[in-house]
Amino acid sequence: MSDTPLVETVCEDARWNEDSLGALAEQAARQTLGHLGLAPAGFEIALLACDDARIATLNAQFRDKAAPTNVLSWPAWDLCAPEDGGLPDLPDAGPPEAPEPLGDIALAYETVRREAEAQGKAFTDHITHLIVHSVLHLLGYDHIRDKDAALMEETERKILAQLGVADPYEDGAVLSR
């Protein structure tokens, strides 16, 4: 692992353990980039660990949905494939001394905790899934169109298996669209 973190974590809610969340996010993001053949040292991601109130404000501001959600992501570029089910156009890495920003992610503590409990999943496994999911969004993956969703979910499954996390879609669970 490089000395320079890929993920810069900012905790606004004390219930998040900044050190363990940062390590978990770092591992998940590095595994995601590595799986896609991207060098983690060439990129950077900002992660906001907040509460439901903060994410509801962000969700209203950016998506016109005045309600909390588990995770939001803001890609630096639009890398989505034009055709449904096509691979995104992955970005070029910056040099390690000036990594290319991929974008920003926000996680809401209460919603993530509640979903993990309702789905009978370990909190850390659910966080890992949401980080992998969000990093894929930053890289142009999406789940609005059916074939895109299938590609994204299959990619998530492979990355999570490499991290020792069970298939999050096994019981038909679907992340919010």
Instruction: Give the global pTM.
Output: 0.94
The pLDDT of residue 82: 95
The pLDDT of residue 172 is 57
CB distance 102 to 138 below 8 Å: yes
The pLDDT value recorded for residue 177 is 43
The Cα–Cα gap between 177 and 172 comes to: 14
Question: Tens digit of pLDDT per residue, the chain (177 long)?
Answer: 456 899 999 999 999 987 799 999 999 999 999 999 999 999 999 999 999 999 999 999 999 999 999 999 999 999 999 999 999 999 999 999 999 999 999 999 999 999 999 999 999 999 999 999 999 999 999 999 999 999 999 999 999 999 999 999 986 555 554
Task: List, edge to edge, every strand of the sheet that includes 7-11.
Answer: 7-11, 43-50, 100-108, 71-75
Q: Is-contact 87 81, C-beta < 8 A?
A: yes
Amino acid at 142: D
User: What CATH class does 7-162 carry?
Assistant: alpha beta
Mention every residue, 6+ apart, whose C-beta is less than 8 A from residue 17: none
Residue 165 to residues 59, 125, 151, 157: CA-CA distances in angstroms? 28, 6, 18, 9
Model pLDDT, residue 18? 72
Q: Is residue 54 within 8 Å of 16, Cβ to Cβ?
A: no
The per-residue pLDDT for 126 is: 96
Read off the tokens for 28: 């998940």
Domain boundaries, the chain: 7-162
